[in-house]
């Protein structure tokens, strides 16, 4: 079986009836940003199935516009915390927090891939995207600063990034929920977040559940409050894609509101650049300072359309590549906190690489964009469709037969005649 057939087979094997689980057992539900990337992968060969992925995810959208991190379409004992821990009153059950908002980007991609045949489904989806983007402003940036807050490391998608270490230290380790981790029953604990991090993760879930998932109260009381550079960059890119959709399906007022948000976000996202470290950084919204940890998220403002710093960031990637480091490690390999096989503390993730490569290409850094794409393809070709990869020995680690890795391989491999 060639690679394109293998990648398609993984998506088919992880299909649970219109939605795709990230991988069997380890992640048995529908995850928000996973499904956005997976929809783009489906779109390379089955546009109708791509739309169904998006529609099933939006079954979990709340009345206030939130698209939650997880939609629990069917029961499973293979994952903690399940719907009984979240205590959200919604059908189908969901978690109570977001993930990076890739969805508008995915919808635009699927529509452009399919052409006029996709207009009806895109038109039906568009108002839900508008509601979701308004949720981000109202719930996480009520003062309209241009930067949205994330209140839980899981919201960033980069759960145990060393960029969160200091802020997480403010979060107590006591929980009212009994912690029954399932992940380390499926994957080596050395690849996963540590136990003390999980205690803090669940403390935050307990805290937010006690508010009844009230967005205003959550923002007021969270001891973890970060302007994550990755989430904000992805949201700015999504706003640009939403504006393109609004020009087809919206009205003048919606277009103007989205354009206003884009202008505001461009200015404040540019302010996350740190000259001393030569990188875009996240901001601790409680301490008020930039967090001096370079991560792969700091390359994503290029994906968001901020191209002025692209040469400097491309130069760093070239330096790592010339040292034999597989691109792009999730944490600076020279940082004391770098761990090459522990989840978001060092490993390479194909989805982040796809965003970085696309941003570099659009910024005119085609050679480095091709290097990132080629490294991603090489890692997958040598180590399989793993959840993530060790940037030093290039081993595949984490979950296997991973949906979004397969989807990215389909996207990167187009036009290669494989």
The CA distance from 255 to 236, in Å, is 15
- Cα–Cα distance list, 92 to 49, 57, 71, 208, 284 (Å): 20, 10, 7, 20, 34
Per-residue pLDDT at 182 exceeds 80: no
**Residue 190: pLDDT band with limits 50, 70, 90:** confident
HSE-CB at 95 with a 13 A cutoff on CA atoms is 24
Mean pLDDT of 268-294: 98
Known active-site residue 387: yes
Known active-site residue 112: no
Residue 417 confidence (pLDDT): 40
Contacts of 169 (CB under 8 A, 6+ apart): none
**Residue 25: pLDDT band with limits 50, 70, 90:** confident
Residue that has been written with the tokens 């930039």 in this structure:
290
Residue 187 confidence (pLDDT): 77
H or E element that contains 284: strand 283-284
**Residue 209: pLDDT band with limits 50, 70, 90:** very high
Task: Provide the mean pLDDT of the chain.
Answer: 96
**Residue 345: pLDDT band with limits 50, 70, 90:** very high
Write down the catalytic residue from 53, 137, 155, 159.
159
Peptide bond into 81 cis (omega under 30): yes
Q: What is the pLDDT of residues 47-92, one digit of tens each?
A: 999 999 999 999 999 999 999 999 999 999 889 999 999 999 999 9
Q: What is the pLDDT of residues 113-166, one digit of tens each?
A: 999 999 999 999 999 999 999 999 999 999 999 999 999 999 999 999 999 999
Dihedral (CA of 222, 227, 233, 235) sign? positive
**Residue 1: pLDDT band with limits 50, 70, 90:** confident
- In order of start, what are the domains of the chain with their CATH numbers? 3-413 (1.50.10.10)
Write down the catalytic residue from 241, 284, 387, 400.
387
Pairing state between β 279-280 and 283-284: unpaired
- Cα–Cα distance list, 145 to 44, 132, 262, 271 (Å): 37, 18, 12, 12
% residues pLDDT > 90 (the chain): 94
Residue 418 confidence (pLDDT): 40
Question: Taking Cα atoms as reference points, which of 191, 213, 5 lies closest to residue 96?
Answer: 213
Residue 218 confidence (pLDDT): 98
- Cα–Cα distance list, 381 to 11, 357, 386, 396 (Å): 17, 18, 10, 10
Q: What is the pLDDT of residues 219-257, one digit of tens each?
A: 999 999 999 999 999 999 999 999 999 999 999 999 999
- Cα–Cα distance list, 362 to 101, 301, 349, 370 (Å): 20, 12, 20, 12
Question: Taking Cα atoms as reference points, which of 153, 55, 56, 52 lies closest to residue 98?
Answer: 153
């Amino acid at each position: 079986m060639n690679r394109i057939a293998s990648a398609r087979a993984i998506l088919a094997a992880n299909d649970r009836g219109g939605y795709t689980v990230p991988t069997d057992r380890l992640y048995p539900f529908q995850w928000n940003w996973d499904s956005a990337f997976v929809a783009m992968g489906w779109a390379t060969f089955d546009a109708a199935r791509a739309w169904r992925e998006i529609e099933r995810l939006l079954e979990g959208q709340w009345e206030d516009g939130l698209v939650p991190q997880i939609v629990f379409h069917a029961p499973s004992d293979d994952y903690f915390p399940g719907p009984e821990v979240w205590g959200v009153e919604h059908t189908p059950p969901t978690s109570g927090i977001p993930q990076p908002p890739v969805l508008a980007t995915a919808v635009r991609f699927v529509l452009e891939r399919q052409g006029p045949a996709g207009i009806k489904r895109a038109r039906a989806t568009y108002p839900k995207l508008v509601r979701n983007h308004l949720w981000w402003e109202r719930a996480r940036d009520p003062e309209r600063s241009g930067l949205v807050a994330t209140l839980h490391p899981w919201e960033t998608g980069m759960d145990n990034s060393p960029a969160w270490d200091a802020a997480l230290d403010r979060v107590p380790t006591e929980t009212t929920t009994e912690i029954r981790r399932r992940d380390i029953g499926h994957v080596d604990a050395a690849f996963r977040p540590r136990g003390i991090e999980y205690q803090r993760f669940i403390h935050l879930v307990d805290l937010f559940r006690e508010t009844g998932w009230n967005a205003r109260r959550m923002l007021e009381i969270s001891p973890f409050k970060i302007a994550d550079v990755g989430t904000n960059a992805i949201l700015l890119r999504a706003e640009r894609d939403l504006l393109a959709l609004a020009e087809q399906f919206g009205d003048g007022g919606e277009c103007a509101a989205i354009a206003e948000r884009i202008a505001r976000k461009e200015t404040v996202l540019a302010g996350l650049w740190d000259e001393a470290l030569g990188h875009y950084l996240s901001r601790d919204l409680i301490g008020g300072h930039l967090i001096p940890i370079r991560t792969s998220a700091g390359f994503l403002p290029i994906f968001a359309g901020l191209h002025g710093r692209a040469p400097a960031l491309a130069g760093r990637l070239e330096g790592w590549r010339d040292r034999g480091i597989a691109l792009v490690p999730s944490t600076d390999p020279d940082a004391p906190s770098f761990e090459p096989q522990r989840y978001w503390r060092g490993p390479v993730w194909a989805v982040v690489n796809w965003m970085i490569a696309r941003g570099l290409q659009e910024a005119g850094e085609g050679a480095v964009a091709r290097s990132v794409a080629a490294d991603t393809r090489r890692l997958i070709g040598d180590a399989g469709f793993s959840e993530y990869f060790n940037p030093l020995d290039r081993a595949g680690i984490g979950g296997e037969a991973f949906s979004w890795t397969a989807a990215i391989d389909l996207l990167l491999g187009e036009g290669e005649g494989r």
